[in-house]
Structure 1
Amino acid sequence: MAFGKALAVAAIVALTLVLLLRTDHDYASARKVSPNKEKHIPQLGLGTWLSDRDEVAHAVEYALDNGYDHIDAALVYKNENQTGKGIKASGVDRSKIWVTSKLWNSDHRRPEAEAAIQKSIADLGVDYLDLYLMHWPVAFVPEEGTRLDKDTSIVDTWRTMEDFVRQNYTRHIGVSNFARAQVQAILDVCDICPYAHEFETHPYLQQQDFVDWHRRADVDIKVIAYSPLANTNPTYRDKKGSLVDPIFKDPFWTKLAKAKNATVVQTVLAWGMQRGTVVIPKSTQEKHIAENRGALDIAFSKGEMREISKRDKKVRMNDPGKSWGVKLFVDLDDPTSFDGEDIEL
């Protein structure tokens, strides 16, 4: 009898050891979503691209003190330490703020990538990130300018980023500036799949089919719209943005804004949110930061949304592909053309 009990105990122990020793691969199918999805990305955030280092800290502090709970940053913006000072000065509890940063092209190899995310976390003064994005689907050889690293694929980089979630550096990971086929390539292999995709989209580059594709059940990726105000950025107006009228002077948008008793900026941002994207307008001016929140109170009818869809000009403002020697956005509107002028980030 005692011998039988001993065998039973041994069998239970053996089974427990088998379960404990199962490989990560065995659990891959159960991990096919990004973790911690109970905390969702806020629909309105403060962008920090091209924000002056001397102004961004106050802008971030002011935004967080006045209702914002989402800050979009990146290592290559060269102002994350000032952004971090603004976060700290606000006194808002870390758990109440969504913080995004991005992995630059020269940091796609594992050692550089880990050093980069650690630097972003330290500069931003946080213990972890809510979202970490692969900034572009392009790898550069470390410390060799924009020379392409043809030995490091986006899948290799994605595997590294998955480990950042496991190491608690970031709650979520995602991509930025990817073509549809490149997103699909990640979806085909991911264990921890993209939570969000940040890319240029606005009334002059709507890409609504692409936005809607992300919302499909088999994709399930949030869309973050950068440059949501089209060519209001002087960088764009002086280059590709000059192909179209500044959106704040566009007769269609000025008329619609008047009907909504709002500014053009508020109206455009409201459209961006209603169509299913997160918007991250950049500003360092208190007046504009406060006004942008007014977009949360504006709604459009189905008819108005249809009319807006007809104003798509399919003009992309930000495309560094030519200078990098890479064709970007190949299956999207206005892909890289080596015959035209591109804009460097």
Structure 2
Amino acid sequence: MSQVPSITLNNGVAMPQLGFGVWQVPDDEAAKAVATALDAGYRSVDTAAVYGNEAGTGRAVAASGVPRGDLFITTKLWNSDQGYDRALRAFDASLGRLGLDYVDLYLIHWPTPARDLATDTYRALEKILADGRAKAIGVSNFLPEHLDRLLGTASVVPAVNQIELHPQFQQSPAREFHRRHGITTEAWSPLGQGRGLLEVPAVAAIGHKHGATPAQVVLRWHLRLGHVVIPKSVTPSRIRENLDVFGFELDADDLAALGALDEGRRLGPDPASFNEA
């Protein structure tokens, strides 16, 4: 049903390269949006405990009729639940809200360096993985220095690091670190936030050239570079549009024009100092 290619993670698990995100979507709206996405052909859904919509996501998954083995469900551990025992309890709670026996990917949402609990927390994720209750584990928003420290004690290399990434914030050092260590790069806010990136003339011009929307151009850029992407929308037409990105290819000139947009400026929090509970 879906044309979406898969990325093979470092433990051999296949992850759809284009998924559906539900950040900032209220629980009831998430149920409707995820149902629309699954009907459109998405098979990967990304949620998190702090989003408050795991239950709605789970309801949509249960009602979809899509076999569980065809789905890839990601959720994330919130900062206040870091630490070995708290993480195990929080995972159980997430599974309960989702109504699932396992998730495909479980992530530590932020490194929260002031807590200094990431390594203990990751041990809990390793146990969850060993118990078969997650098919893969990883992190989100970890800088290379955070990953370096984690790799010093971990027995399992994170499969994924989900980071802010888009043409105006390209994160080349992080992506290179991931490449060297076999960690898949997943982009949150892949289209930026607001209309800024999608109104850049160079992006619009590439879209005109290929008969594509600016959002489709940016998503195609991510896919071409090997990123996993999780665009978010609650608008049915945009949900479908964001999946319809496999009918054109970006050429070298397009990639150069998009590569020149990097401003090195975050839209979201800085992981070096973000410690919110």
State the TM-score, normalized to the length of structure 1. 0.74
Aligned residue among 177, 183, 188 for 1:226: 188
Q: State yes or no: 1:105 paired with 2:69.
A: no
What is the DSSP-based 3-state SS (H/G/I as helix, E as strand, rest coil) of the residue aligned with 1:41? strand
Q: Distance in 2 between matches of 1:201 and 1:278?
A: 10
Structure-2 residue corresponding to 1:189: 153
Structure-2 residue corresponding to 1:7: none
Q: What is the deviation of 1:310?
A: 1.0
Q: Deviations over 1:53-73 (max 9, x none)?
A: 221111111211221110001
Structure-2 residue corresponding to 1:261: 211
Which amino acid counterpart does residue 188 of structure 1 have in structure 2? G
Q: Distance in 2 between matches of 1:257 and 1:110?
A: 47
Q: Distance in 1 between matches of 2:67 and 2:61?
A: 9
Which amino acid counterpart does residue 111 of structure 1 have in structure 2? D
Q: State yes or no: 1:133 paired with 2:107.
A: yes
Structure-2 residue corresponding to 1:248: 198
Aligned residue among 247, 251, 266 for 1:316: 266
Q: Is the Cα contact below 8 Å between 2:10 and 2:182 reproduced in 1?
A: no
Q: State yes or no: 1:327 paired with 2:273.
A: yes
Aligned residue among 166, 175, 193 for 1:202: 166
Structure-1 residue corresponding to 2:4: none
Q: Distance in 1 between matches of 2:128 and 2:27?
A: 28
Q: What is the deviation of 1:37?
A: 3.3
Which amino acid counterpart does residue 164 of structure 2 have in structure 1? E
Q: What is the deviation of 1:320?
A: 6.0
Q: Is the Cα contact below 8 Å between 1:137 and 1:178 reproduced in 2?
A: yes
Q: What is the deviation of 1:303?
A: 2.8
Q: State yes or no: 1:117 paired with 2:63.
A: no
Deviation larger for 285-294 or 183-192: 183-192
Q: State yes or no: 1:162 paired with 2:162.
A: no
Q: CA 1:189–1:42 in structure 2 vs 1: closer, same or farther (change >3 Å)?
A: same
Structure-2 residue corresponding to 1:341: none
Q: State yes or no: 1:55 paired with 2:19.
A: no
Aligned residue among 120, 144, 155 for 1:180: 144
Q: Which runs of 5+ in 1 are unaligned?
A: 1-33, 140-147, 233-244, 329-335, 337-343
Deviation larger for 255-264 or 48-57: 48-57
1:136-147 correspondence to structure 2 within 5 Å: 136-138=110-112
Q: Deviations over 1:84-136 (max 9, x none)?
A: 01111111011100011101111112222111111111111211011110100
Q: What is the deviation of 1:209?
A: 3.6
Q: Distance in 2 between matches of 1:124 and 1:197?
A: 22
1:254-293 correspondence to structure 2 within 5 Å: 254-293=204-243
Q: What is the deviation of 1:294?
A: 1.4
Moved over 6 A (4+): none
Q: Distance in 1 between matches of 2:123 and 2:40?
A: 38
Report how many aligned residue pairs link the two structures.
Answer: 270
Structure-2 residue corresponding to 1:10: none
Q: Is the Cα contact below 8 Å between 1:74 and 1:102 reproduced in 2?
A: yes
Q: Distance in 1 between matches of 2:46 and 2:166?
A: 17
1:69-88 correspondence to structure 2 within 5 Å: 69-88=43-62
What is the DSSP-based 3-state SS (H/G/I as helix, E as strand, rest coil) of the residue aligned with 1:191? coil
Deviation larger for 94-103 or 293-302: 293-302
Q: Is the Cα contact below 8 Å between 2:85 and 2:124 reproduced in 1?
A: no
Which amino acid counterpart does residue 267 of structure 1 have in structure 2? V
Q: Which runs of 5+ in 2 are unaligned?
A: 1-7
Q: What is the deviation of 1:327?
A: 2.6
Which amino acid counterpart does residue 118 of structure 1 have in structure 2? D
Which amino acid counterpart does residue 239 of structure 2 have in structure 1? I
State the TM-score, normalized to the length of structure 2. 0.91
Q: Distance in 1 between matches of 2:118 and 2:207?
A: 41
Q: Deviations over 1:184-207 (max 9, x none)?
A: 222232212200000000011011
Structure-2 residue corresponding to 1:215: 179
Which amino acid counterpart does residue 61 of structure 1 have in structure 2? A
Q: Distance in 1 between matches of 2:226 and 2:173?
A: 12
Q: Is the Cα contact below 8 Å between 1:257 and 1:263 reproduced in 2?
A: yes
Q: Distance in 2 between matches of 1:200 and 1:35?
A: 19
Q: What do you get for the CA RMSD once the two structures are aligned?
A: 2.2
Q: Distance in 1 between matches of 2:173 and 2:212?
A: 28
